[in-house]
Structures are given as structure tokens and as C-alpha cells.
């Protein structure tokens, strides 16, 4: 197989360290800061492994003979998985560069949107992990999970690992950390002694029980990507612009979780007085979190022309009913149902345009959503990815690009805490009284999902830190 036309890969020192470390390991792990060169390193490692697999298979079973028919059985089959379909672009581009097109001496013969064929009957499938049930279980000879930490927790353990068992295939994990989630517990702890000690303590085991020599990995920071000279300077700037936790994760590639208060609000800067001047807003957006035993909370936010998001009002209450079977048109101004409460909240600030304001709904109560839709609200689906919302809000508070006005949202935010070190929690935090936070983050669905990082000045390495769909 010729690779004449493929560009030469000149790994940075950090990337070389990774390739050496994982050389003989079935499972390879690269944890690095944003733009650190993980995807490039992953693609280069995939190419090496494909070449090795085909050389071995050639001596063990002889050359590939194309099978007859429309759906030929691949000789070797691989899979690349990213958290979303859009995020598959990066590994695709890197693979295309390093595998090269067959027409000019490389390996790729055919490129469909979700399936590539390489010379010699080698097939690569591309899958997004946002619908794990669609990750059909073929056997694979190798899998690459890019931005693995952002995949849902069960995708590896419940959907993908088994697809490697028939072939004893390999897996490569490349990722920026996202706190101590599944990637830390199930993957990184198997190759990193410090993480193994931590996880062992939590699980009442010994570090030796956690460490697994078939897992090997390396970690490096953004600034260690010496292929892009400006990243070192940008990392220094990011340390000033970002909250500590977000800097540690995204640039230093720390798995650390900072225990204690998540949102640090400073009264003078973040709590506004009453009565916003509505002409300052270029758009409005509302979000609602439906509680059954907990309060229901609805927040209205405005985006100013200067690119800042201000809370306008939040209404939160427990025990208010949803279904108003009474005549809506007659009762909307004085009814005590959630539909009329939200109507009055929006109408107070937007007048007759109340029905234009997007009202972001979570997916868990389609029945309630339907009631609002039927009454003419501009209902849209909320963006519900939690860590992305935390990262966005922490950063926006830090840079002064979000402001809180109501006492009820203020109190809720200041009480949200991560568990103390050494404590495990399936939720991001200790308490469950986060209803107003949920309504607020749903209202902010658009900026959070846009992937833009709300710093004062733009940090190139941070753009697309995860939410973009």
C-alpha cells in the first residue's frame, strides 16, 4: 500500500510521547487541551494501526478477495465516533489528510457521508454518539472516539466495547476532559496511576485493581502544540479570561472538579436593579423547567445590542397547575395556571409580541409543551446539555456577559455546589434545588448551543468548545 501522496506527519514532542506510549497497547488514550493536536494525533495513530492490521492479516489469511454482490463484506472494518454529527468533520479531515486519496497514491477510494472505502476492502464507518441506539453493533477491528468525554456515559461501555470483542480490536480515545465523568473513571484511571488511586478509593478497591496495562495514554496542554506558535500566548490570555475551572479543563487538560460553589456571583457586577430598559435588547428568549414535586420556573432573558445577556424576570412557584381546561381566551389575564402566568410574564415585557418570544421547553414533558403550543406560545426545544451550560454560564459571569436580576435566580445559583472531593454524585452537584437554574439555562439555549465562548475577547482555541450541533 502506497502512501506517497499523503502529507508527512511531523508530530510535536507531545504527540510523539503519545504514539510511543501507546505503541503496544490495545487501548490508547490522549487527553489534551483544546487545539492541542489530539485529533491529528488520533488520525495518525489510526493510520498506523490500519497499516499494521492489514499487514498482519495479509500474512495470516492472505490477500483480500472482493466478495460478490451489492453490499460487499469488508476485509477490515473500523468506526470513528464523535459526540455529534458536526463534530465528525474534524476526524474526517485529519484522516483524509493522512490516509490520502487512492487516485493520487493514497488509500481512500470512496467517501460517503457515513462510510468510506479504502484500498484492499477496508471500510471506515462514521457515527455520531448522540443517538447511541443507532450505533449498530457490527464487529469492528478498531474504533476511534474523538472528544470522547462528551459522549454520553453509556456509549462506550454499553454500545461500543462489545463490537470489538470478536476481533479483539483496538480503541483510541482522544479528548479534552469534562470533569470526573466516565472517561476519567472507566478509561483514564486504567492508565494513569494518580487517577487509579482516586477511583480505587471511591470504589473501595486497590489501585492495582483499576490499572490495566492494555490501556496506555498521555496527556498534554494546549501550549504544547508547538505546531501552532500562537497557542502559548493564547493560553496565557485564557488564564485571565476564563474562570479557573474552565481554564484548567480546556487548556491544561485537567480532570479536576472544583468542589463547592459553581457560580461565583459578585453582587455589584451581576445583580441588576429593577426595571430594565427594553430598548437595550435586540432579542428576548424564555425558558421553562417543569417541576412536579419541585417548583416550576420560567425565566425571561434579553440579549443586548452589546452582546450581553440579562435576566429580565424569573417566576418560580410550586403547586401551580398546568392544565387550564377553562376558557383560555377569557382567563389568560387572570387565571392562576402556568399557561396564564407565563402569558402574563411575557406580555408584561413584550406586549402584543408575547407570542413571538421563543419559549424553550425541555424534552421530559411533551404533554405540558403541547398545552403551551395549543395556546399560541412560540414553543421550541431547549438545549439540555448540562456541562456545556455550566461552562457557558461560568464564563459569561466571569467576563460580565450575563447578568442576574431576580433574587430567586440569584439564590438558586449561589447555592449550587459540586460535591466535596472524594464524594461521588451522579448529578453535577449536591442539592437538587436547581429549578431556577434549569429555566434560565433553557432560556439561554441559543447562545449556549452556538458554541461561541462568552469571553471578552475571542480565544481561537476555545471556539466550538462543544455545544455546536
Ligand X SMILES: Nc1ncnc2c1ncn2[C@@H]1O[C@H](COP(=O)(O)OP(=O)(O)O)[C@@H](O)[C@H]1O
Q: How far apart are CA 64 and CA 52, in angstroms?
A: 15
Task: Find the binding residues for ligand X in span 90-119 (CB under 6 A).
Answer: 90
- Which of residues 6, 22, 31, 39 is near ligand X by CB under 6 A? 39
416-to-323, 413, 423 alpha-carbon distances in Å: 31, 5, 16
Kindly state the cell numbers that stand for 104. Answer: 493520487
Task: Tell me the C-alpha distance between 50 and 229, whole Å.
Answer: 31
Q: How far apart are CA 176 and CA 221, in angstroms?
A: 10
Strands (DSSP E) contained in 383-422 are: 402-403, 417-418
Site map 41..80 versus ligand X, x via CB under 6 A:
----------------------------------------
Instruction: Give the alpha-carbon dihedral of 380, 427, 150, 238, to 10 degrees.
Output: 90
Least distance (Å) from ligand X to the CB of residue 228?
Answer: 5
| 229 is a site residue for ligand X (CB under 6 A) | no
Question: Where are any strands of DSSP class E within 194-267?
Answer: 215-220, 260-261
221 vs 296, beta carbon nearer Mg ion: 221
- How far is it, in rounded angstroms, from Cα 429 to Cα 39? 31
Where in 335-394 is the site for Mg ion (CB under 5 A)? none
Q: Which of these, 461, 16, 457, lies nearest to 241 by C-alpha position? A: 457
CB of 40 to ligand X, least distance (A): 4
Q: Which of Mg ion, ligand X, none interacts with 190 (beta carbon under 5 to 8 A by kind)?
A: none
Residue 376 binds ligand X (CB under 6 A): no
Residue nearer to Mg ion on the CB measure, 53 or 90? 90
- Binds 11: which of Mg ion, ligand X, none (CB < 5-8 Å by kind): ligand X
Cell readout for 151 is: 459522549
Q: Which residue is nearest to Mg ion (CB)?
A: 39
Using the minimum distance from each CB to Mg ion, give the nearer residue, 36 or 447: 36
Total of chain residues touching ligand X, rule CB under 6 A: 16
Q: Could you tell me the smallest distance in angstroms from the CB atom of residue 82 to Mg ion?
A: 9
Q: Which is nearer to ligand X, 38 or 180 (CB)?
A: 38
92 binds, among ligand X, Mg ion, none (CB under 5 to 8 A by kind): none
Closer Cβ to ligand X, 40 or 163, answer by number: 40
Cβ proximity of 345 and 298 under 8 Å: yes
Residue of the chain from 22, 33, 37, 39 that contacts Mg ion (CB under 5 A): 39
**Of the ranges 10-18, 381-389, 390-398, 409-417, which one interacts with ligand X (CB under 6 A)?**
10-18
- Smallest distance, ligand X to C-beta of residue 38, A: 3
Q: What's the CA gap between 362 and 287, in Å, rounded?
A: 9
d(CA 98, CA 96): 6
Report which of 191, 160, 304, 219 is spatially closest to residue 38, judged by C-alpha positions: 219
Q: Is 32 in the site for ligand X (CB under 6 A)?
A: yes
The 3-state secondary structure of 76-126 reads: EEEEEEECCCHHHHHHHHHHHHHHCEHHHCCCEEEECCCEEEECCCEEEEE
Q: What letter would DSSP give residue 64?
A: -
84 near Mg ion (CB under 5 A): no
User: Residue 163: which of Mg ion, ligand X, none does it interact with, CB under 5 to 8 A by kind?
Assistant: none
Decide if 374 contacts 384 (C-beta within 8 A).
no
Site for Mg ion, rule CB under 5 A: 39, 90
Site for ligand X, rule CB under 6 A: 10-12, 15, 32, 34-40, 90, 225, 227-228
Amino acid at each position: 500500500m502506497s502512501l506517497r501522496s499523503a502529507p508527512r506527519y511531523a508530530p510535536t514532542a507531545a504527540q510523539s510521547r503519545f504514539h510511543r506510549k501507546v505503541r503496544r497497547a490495545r487501548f490508547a488514550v490522549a487527553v489534551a487541551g483544546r487545539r492541542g493536536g489530539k485529533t491529528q494525533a488520533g488520525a495518525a495513530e489510526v493510520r498506523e494501526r490500519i497499516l499494521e492490521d492489514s499487514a498482519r492479516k495479509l500474512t495470516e489469511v492472505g490477500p483480500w478477495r472482493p466478495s460478490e454482490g451489492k453490499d460487499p463484506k469488508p476485509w477490515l472494518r473500523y468506526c470513528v465516533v464523535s459526540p455529534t454529527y458536526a463534530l465528525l468533520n474534524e476526524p474526517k479531515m485529519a484522516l483524509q489528510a493522512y490516509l490520502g486519496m487512492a487516485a493520487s497514491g493514497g488509500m481512500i477510494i470512496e467517501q460517503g457521508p457515513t462510510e468510506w472505502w479504502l484500498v484492499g476492502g477496508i471500510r471506515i464507518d462514521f457515527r455520531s454518539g448522540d443517538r447511541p441506539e443507532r450505533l449498530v453493533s457490527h464487529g469492528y477491528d478498531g474504533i476511534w472516539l474523538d472528544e470522547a468525554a462528551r459522549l454520553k456515559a453509556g456509549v462506550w461501555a454499553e454500545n461500543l466495547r462489545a463490537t470489538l470483542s470478536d476481533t479483539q480490536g483496538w480503541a483510541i480515545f482522544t479528548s479534552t476532559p469534562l470533569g470526573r465523568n466516565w472517561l476519567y473513571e472507566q478509561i483514564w484511571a486504567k492508565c494513569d496511576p494518580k487517577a487509579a488511586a482516586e477511583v480505587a478509593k471511591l470504589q473501595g478497591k486497590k489501585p492495582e485493581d483499576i490499572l490495566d496495562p492494555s490501556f496506555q495514554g498521555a496527556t498534554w496542554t494546549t501550549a504544547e502544540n508547538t505546531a501552532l506558535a500562537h497557542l502559548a500566548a493564547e493560553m496565557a490570555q485564557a488564564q485571565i479570561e476564563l474562570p479557573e475551572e474552565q481554564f484548567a479543563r480546556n487548556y491544561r487538560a485537567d480532570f479536576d472538579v472544583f468542589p463547592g460553589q459553581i457560580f461565583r456571583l459578585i453582587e455589584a457586577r451581576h445583580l441588576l436593579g429593577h426595571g430594565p430598559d427594553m430598548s437595550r435588547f435586540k432579542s428576548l428568549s424564555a425558558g421553562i423547567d417543569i417541576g412536579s414535586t419541585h417548583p416550576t420556573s420560567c425565566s425571561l432573558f434579553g440579549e443586548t445590542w452589546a452582546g450581553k445577556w440579562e435576566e429580565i424576570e424569573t417566576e418560580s412557584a410550586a403547586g401551580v397547575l398546568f392544565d387550564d381546561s377553562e376558557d383560555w381566551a377569557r382567563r389568560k389575564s387572570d387565571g392562576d395556571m402556568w399557561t396564564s402566568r407565563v402569558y402574563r410574564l411575557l406580555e408584561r415585557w413584550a406586549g402584543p409580541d408575547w407570542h413571538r418570544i421563543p419559549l424553550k421547553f425541555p424534552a421530559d414533558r411533551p404533554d405540558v409543551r403541547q398545552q403551551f403550543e395549543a395556546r399560541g406560545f412560540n414553543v421550541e426545544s431547549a438545549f439540555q446539555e448540562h456541562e456545556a451550560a455550566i461552562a457557558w454560564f461560568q464564563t459569561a459571569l466571569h467576563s460580565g456577559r450575563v447578568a442576574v436580576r431576580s433574587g430567586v435566580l440569584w439564590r438558586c445559583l449561589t447555592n449550587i455546589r459540586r460535591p466535596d472531593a472524594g464524594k461521588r454524585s451522579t448529578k453535577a452537584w449536591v442539592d437538587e434545588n436547581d429549578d431556577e437554574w434549569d429555566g434560565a439555562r433553557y432560556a439561554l439555549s441559543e447562545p449556549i448551543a452556538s458554541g461561541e465562548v462568552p469571553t471578552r475577547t475571542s480565544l481561537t482555541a476555545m471556539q466550538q468548545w462543544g455545544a455546536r450541533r
